[in-house]
Amino acid sequence: MNRRQDALAEIVAIARRNDLTSGEIVDALTVPTPGEASPDDGIVRRLLAYVGGIFVFAGVAVYIGMFWADMNGAARIIVTLGTGVTALTLAILLVDNDRLARAATPLFLIAAWLQPTGIMVAFDELGTGGDPQHAALAATTAMLLQQLLLIRRFQRPALVFIALIFGTLTLGNTFDLLGIDQEVNAMIVGLSLLLLSYGIDKTDYRDITPFWYFLGGAASLWAVFELLENTPVHVLYLGLTAFMIYVSTVAKSRTLLFVSTLAMVGYLGYFTAEYFVDSTGWPVALIFMGLVLIGLSNMALRINRKYISGHQL
């Protein structure tokens, strides 16, 4: 029996001993106790924590910018990498403190910005040359590993979001160094983000997935269009967008539905402009395009209401 079940069993025993009804217990729980934080207090604390983090980051950035030219190599590394490590240390110390945990997320974000910057500065100041892309790969890989270790200890959505950022940069940079075409690179990274978003959507971190559904869907659909454009089979792209709309219903993602519908509309616009703009059928094509847009808007609305609404923001 876990702690929650033990607590519930103890509450039931106390209620029975004192002849308390369920209504009395509910009424007692709904009355705020003196000093208890209200939901509005939580919002204010979160807002102040983020505003404070913005001011801290702005102050560090302004200071670095003002004195950067006068600093030697060691000082530049300290004010970037050192400040980032300090921010990370403070975040780790605060994350388990109930009163100060709100301040941990801005500090994690500041650390995620300053640490890779500091690593790049260290490569520039201490290195003997070489491809900066290799240094960038080392920095993003190190940050990805750091975030994965932090996620195992602190289950926070911000850390998962940051890990996805560095994972995306690492994967894209690796494929670029391997000489993979930009379109294929974007397609692989985009599909990877879609799969990861689908998996994360089934966890407690689902609130971060809309952004990654958007990025993954946009990257993969753009890449496929670039690959199929000016080929005899480019009309297959229309089928792909329809398939992605179906995928959005499976994933229950309004964001992916929006991206897929937008891609379908964009392709139809490209198709009519490519084959009808210089013909007498152009006005008819415009009318047809307008009717298609109206139909797609109604279709997207029905799909959202029937398969997605109530499941995903």
Q: What is the pLDDT of residues 84-134, one digit of tens each?
A: 999 999 999 988 877 777 778 888 998 999 999 999 999 988 877 778 899
Segment 51-77, tens digit of pLDDT: 776 777 677 778 778 878 888 889 899
Predicted confidence at residue 268, as pLDDT, reads: 81
Which carries the bigger pLDDT value, residue 56 or residue 182? 182
Length of the chain: 313
- According to the model, what pLDDT value does residue 313 have? 46
What digits encode the pLDDT tens for the residues 235-281? 899 889 989 988 988 888 889 989 998 998 888 888 877 776 666 66
Is the pLDDT reported for residue 208 higher than 80?
Answer: yes
